[in-house]
Structure 1
Amino acid sequence: MSKNITPSQLLGEIGEAAVRLRFLTMGFQFDGRSRLEAGVDGIAEVMDRGRPLARMIAVQVKATDSGRYTSETDAGFSYLMRPEDLDYWRGSNLPIIIVLYRKSDDTFFWKEVGNQIKDEERRLQFDKAQDVLDVNAVERLAALTVPKAGFGYYVPPIGGGEEALVNILPVTLPSEVFVSSTPHTPKKAAAILLDGDAPRFDWAIKGGTFWSFSDPRETVCRDIVDLDQVEAIDTSSLAFHEDQDEQNNFAFLLRKTLDHQVRNELRWNKERKLFYVRALAENTTRTFAYEASKKRTSTDVVNAVMNKTDKTKVDFVRHHAFVPRFELLYDQWYLVINPTYFFTTNGFIPHSYPAALLAGKKRMDNSASLRGQVVMWHRFLSQADRDESNLFGQASTEPRLRFGEPPVVALATRVPEDVWGSQKKAASEPDDGQERMFA
């Protein structure tokens, strides 16, 4: 009996050949697997103007002759993945995509298969406008090869270069820090000050020792220290201690000092550990004007969002916010700015369900908006320094932290926008914003 090649086998070969040709015309390399493949038909390699970059994507090709896809409309369709394929792909150390090829209309659609997909979530949704495999998908595909953990990763050259703004602000410290013994624990000391008229908390207590950049003898903190033991020492003796615990203690003092310094403009949310711009009045937008990189601009740092149906009703109030972290890098302290948003019902009462609002706003952020937020926060935190240089400014009598310009790094390539998107998270996990080191 003679051997036969089935139509299904022929269609599979035609599909793989068509997909290989499509990748080659897009500027990628594509190498097919052997006949022993178990769920990956080929490996696509990202190239920059003919230069291979060793950035690989595993490709599974699914070919059909002329049938319609499941639930297909003019806008899109769905595709159900096989459980055995999912089991195989979960062990992959490469990003995996499915490419669907239809011979009758010569169409190519692609979708990433994330390693977080569960057996009960096997259905992929394709968008006919967004998920076409053509030259417009090059940067999205290249972005799949970028590590999603760590700081400062970027895809090798896909376009022209650009300057990246690092989201860290150099901190200039006061020259002196005051230390003293105290008989109180931090909790007891806070309770004593709260009983007074004007409590302040720009201090730290650790092991019976009080630290502050302000002289406690001249503030309400006189009530919580041993006045005869107060001593001013050089800040560098504490700021650059080699012991990690001591560095953590100093970072805590910096955060408390910043909290006191911005108390009239920002609010601290203990639950999410972030600063957000305070509202000046209920359900009222607040605008901050500042000098950006090249021109003067302004932004709504508090935005009262109106109901789309009832224009007289406020749905929620969105506040610009950031998660602060002080880090010692070599011999310089920095404030790491991680921009995010905080939501209230009227400017003062925290919103009960902010996760969906935050996720929706984050999806609209791109590298330009993140860069703008970092610049805005620098101008916001350093406005007192600029006021002092103005003849009409009001000079501050208290020692405070001063913040320098965020560093600029010249990159050899433009970063694809998809890299700046938030990582996918479980539905039960709130999206507080991905921490980034570049904006």
Structure 2
Amino acid sequence: MAKTVTNNQLLGEIGETAVRLRFLTIGFQFDGRSRLEAGVDGIAEVMDNGKPLARMIAVQVKATESSRYASEDDKGFSYLLRAEDLAYWRGSNLPIIIVLYRRSDETYFWKAVSLDIEGDGRKLQFDKTRDILDQNAVDRLAVLTVPKAGFGYYVPPLGGGEEALVNILPVVLPPEVFVASTSLDARKAISVLLNRDEPARFDWAINGGTFWSFTDPRESNCRHVVDIDQVEAIDTAEIAFHEDVEELNNFAFLLRKTLDHQVRADLAWNKDRKLYYFRALAENTPRAFAYEALKKRASTEVVNVALNKADKASVDFVRHHAFLPRFERLFDQWYLVINPTYFFTTNGFMPHSYPAALLAGKKRLDNSASLRGQVVMWHRFLSRSDREQGGLFGAGSTKPRLSFGEPPAVALATRVPEDVWASQKPVPESGGEQERLFG
């Protein structure tokens, strides 16, 4: 009996050859396996402008002649993995992707097996726009090879660099810190100040019977919580650049309390999430902030009212621009680290009961350009010259005690790949302490 090659065998060979050519076209190497393969048809290697990086991806090819995929429409379709393939892949030390090749329309779709799996763990959902195996998939494929443990690194195979903005603002410190003895702890001092008729200020800290502030307590109602004859002005550098870690933590907290006072008219502090967010001016009312961006004047809606899609008269939620602050000393310079985020309320004032899904949805839309814009916006807000007029502080205030320099820029050899920004899952924001609090 003469030997025959089945149509399925031919289609399998055609599919593997077509996928190999597609990987070579986008700049990857692709080596096929032997006939003994049990669920991996080939190994793709990431290359940077023709330079192999020893970053491997295991590839399984599934070819079809012309059949429609399950639940296929104009936007996407689903694909059910074989249980035996999935069991085999789970032991892999390489990232696994499946590539679907359809000969009739020469389409190539791909998906990482460990991502976007629904139901019993075998169903993959494909997006016909996002999951095409072409040049636009290069960065998403390469990021699969970043080690899951440790810090990892990734060199995207792209030419052309860009200037990256670091999300830290240099802090210009006041020259003096006022120190005084006190018999009160912080809680009792707050009670004393609130019970006075004079405007209270809280840009100070108390630790171990010592009061610290960049403002002279004798010139405000803080004189009621300190020993007036013990007030002394010392050089800020003596504590700002102390060698003791505890002293540095305490100084970082004093910086944060000083910032609290400077921004309190425009920003609210959320104790649970440890962040500042723009205050709403009225219930269910948007608010904009105009500023000079890097190249032109810009305006951002820092309080955004989201209406219900079905009932335009009803408000779903209110989104506030926010940031998590952290003061850090690097060598002989203090910086304010700006981590842009969002805060959600029901009407501009009442915190939203379920903000996590709203935050995750918004974060998925952010790319490098929008995050860069947010860092610039926060710098412009924190360094506004009109604060010098005293309009932000109320009675008893003169000028801001902290000022901020421009965020530093770093020249990158390659640009930030937007697909990688979009593919990363949002990192949960820590609810822990950022600075050690005074007692």
Deviation by residue 1:111-148 (Cα, 9 ceiling, x = unmatched): 12337968833311012232121223223323434568
Relative distance call for 1:104 and 1:245 in structure 2 (3 A) is same
Offset of residue 333 of structure 1:
1.0
Tell me the residue number matched to 2:342: 341
Deviates more, 1:331-340 or 1:63-72: 63-72
Q: Does 1:228 align with 2:226?
A: no
Relative distance call for 1:3 and 1:412 in structure 2 (3 A) is same
Q: Does 1:316 align with 2:320?
A: no
Query: In the aligned structure 1, how far is the partner of 2:411 from the partner of 2:230?
Result: 50
TM-score (norm 2): 0.85
Query: In the aligned structure 2, how far is the partner of 1:121 from the partner of 1:239?
Result: 54
Q: Counterpart of 2:229 in 1: which secondary structure?
A: helix
Deviation by residue 1:203-247 (Cα, 9 ceiling, x = unmatched): 222333322212222222223333333322211111122232322
Query: In the aligned structure 1, how far is the partner of 2:262 from the partner of 2:387?
Result: 15
Instruction: After TM superposition, list the pairs within 5 Å mapping 1:389-428 onto structure 2.
Output: 397-398=398-399, 400-421=401-422, 423-424=424-425
Deviates more, 1:323-332 or 1:343-352: 343-352
Query: In the aligned structure 2, how far is the partner of 1:132 from the partner of 1:22?
Result: 11
Deviates more, 1:98-107 or 1:320-329: 98-107
Tell me the residue number matched to 1:185: 185
Return 5+ residue gaps in structure 1 as ranges.
Answer: 389-394, 434-439
Relative distance call for 1:182 and 1:86 in structure 2 (3 A) is farther
Relative distance call for 1:152 and 1:383 in structure 2 (3 A) is farther
Relative distance call for 1:34 and 1:237 in structure 2 (3 A) is farther
Relative distance call for 1:284 and 1:47 in structure 2 (3 A) is same
Tell me the residue number matched to 1:144: 144
Deviates more, 1:221-230 or 1:81-90: 81-90
Deviation by residue 1:355-390 (Cα, 9 ceiling, x = unmatched): 2222222222111111111111000000037856xx
User: Does the aligned pair in 1 maintain the 2:116–2:124 contact within 8 Å?
Assistant: no
Q: Counterpart of 1:284 in 2: which secondary structure?
A: coil
1:340 aligned partner, one-letter code: T
Relative distance call for 1:156 and 1:138 in structure 2 (3 A) is closer
Offset of residue 264 of structure 1:
0.8
Q: Counterpart of 2:31 in 1: which secondary structure?
A: strand
User: Does the aligned pair in 2 maintain the 1:155–1:416 contact within 8 Å?
Assistant: no
2:336 aligned partner, one-letter code: L
Tell me the residue number matched to 1:391: none
Deviates more, 1:401-410 or 1:221-230: 221-230
Tell me the residue number matched to 2:114: 114
Deviation by residue 1:62-81 (Cα, 9 ceiling, x = unmatched): 33455443333343221223
Deviates more, 1:228-237 or 1:34-43: 34-43
Query: In the aligned structure 1, how far is the partner of 2:20 from the partner of 2:96?
Result: 16
Tell me the residue number matched to 1:378: 379
Relative distance call for 1:355 and 1:202 in structure 2 (3 A) is same
User: Does the aligned pair in 1 maintain the 2:116–2:125 contact within 8 Å?
Assistant: no
Tell me the residue number matched to 2:276: 275
Return 5+ residue gaps in structure 2 as ranges.
Answer: 390-395, 432-439
Q: Does 1:260 align with 2:258?
A: no
User: Does the aligned pair in 1 maintain the 2:289–2:300 contact within 8 Å?
Assistant: yes
Q: Counterpart of 1:347 in 2: which secondary structure?
A: coil
2:24 aligned partner, one-letter code: L
Deviation by residue 1:387-438 (Cα, 9 ceiling, x = unmatched): 56xxxxxx9624511111011111111111022237336xxx96789xxxxx
Instruction: After TM superposition, list the pairs within 5 Å mapping 1:71-110 onto structure 2.
Output: 71-83=71-83, 85-86=85-86, 89-90=89-90, 92=92, 94-110=94-110
Identity of aligned residues (%): 77
User: Does the aligned pair in 2 maintain the 1:15–1:63 contact within 8 Å?
Assistant: yes
Task: Give the RMSD, CA atoms, in angstroms.
Answer: 3.3
Tell me the residue number matched to 1:218: 219
Q: Does 1:306 align with 2:298?
A: no
User: Does the aligned pair in 1 maintain the 2:57–2:145 contact within 8 Å?
Assistant: yes
Deviates more, 1:10-19 or 1:86-95: 86-95
Instruction: After TM superposition, list the pairs within 5 Å mapping 1:326-365 onto structure 2.
Output: 326-365=327-366
Q: Counterpart of 1:311 in 2: which secondary structure?
A: coil
Offset of residue 6 of structure 1:
6.6
2:109 aligned partner, one-letter code: F
Q: Does 1:70 align with 2:70?
A: yes
Deviates more, 1:408-417 or 1:342-351: 342-351
2:327 aligned partner, one-letter code: F
Relative distance call for 1:35 and 1:182 in structure 2 (3 A) is farther
Query: In the aligned structure 1, how far is the partner of 2:185 from the partner of 2:3?
Result: 87
Offset of residue 283 of structure 1:
1.8
2:330 aligned partner, one-letter code: L
2:192 aligned partner, one-letter code: I
Tell me the residue number matched to 1:436: none
User: Does the aligned pair in 2 maintain the 1:214–1:398 contact within 8 Å?
Assistant: no
- Would you say how many aligned residue pairs link Structure 1 and Structure 2? 425
Query: In the aligned structure 1, how far is the partner of 2:421 from the partner of 2:149?
Result: 12
User: Does the aligned pair in 2 maintain the 1:358–1:431 contact within 8 Å?
Assistant: no
Q: Counterpart of 1:73 in 2: which secondary structure?
A: coil
Query: In the aligned structure 2, how far is the partner of 1:204 from the partner of 1:150?
Result: 38
Deviation by residue 1:154-199 (Cα, 9 ceiling, x = unmatched): 6334132111111111111111112233333333333333333433
1:403 aligned partner, one-letter code: F
Relative distance call for 1:432 and 1:279 in structure 2 (3 A) is farther
Query: In the aligned structure 2, how far is the partner of 1:207 from the partner of 1:98?
Result: 62
Query: In the aligned structure 2, how far is the partner of 1:139 from the partner of 1:37?
Result: 27
Deviates more, 1:243-252 or 1:61-70: 61-70
Tell me the residue number matched to 1:134: 134
Deviates more, 1:133-142 or 1:274-283: 133-142
User: Does the aligned pair in 1 maintain the 2:307–2:316 contact within 8 Å?
Assistant: yes
1:247 aligned partner, one-letter code: L
Q: Counterpart of 1:101 in 2: which secondary structure?
A: strand
1:287 aligned partner, one-letter code: A
Deviates more, 1:28-37 or 1:279-288: 28-37
Tell me the residue number matched to 2:239: 238
Tell me the residue number matched to 1:29: 29
Deviation by residue 1:276-322 (Cα, 9 ceiling, x = unmatched): 11111222221111111111111111122333344333332221111
Relative distance call for 1:422 and 1:258 in structure 2 (3 A) is farther
Query: In the aligned structure 1, how far is the partner of 2:151 from the partner of 2:261?
Result: 30
Offset of residue 348 of structure 1:
1.4
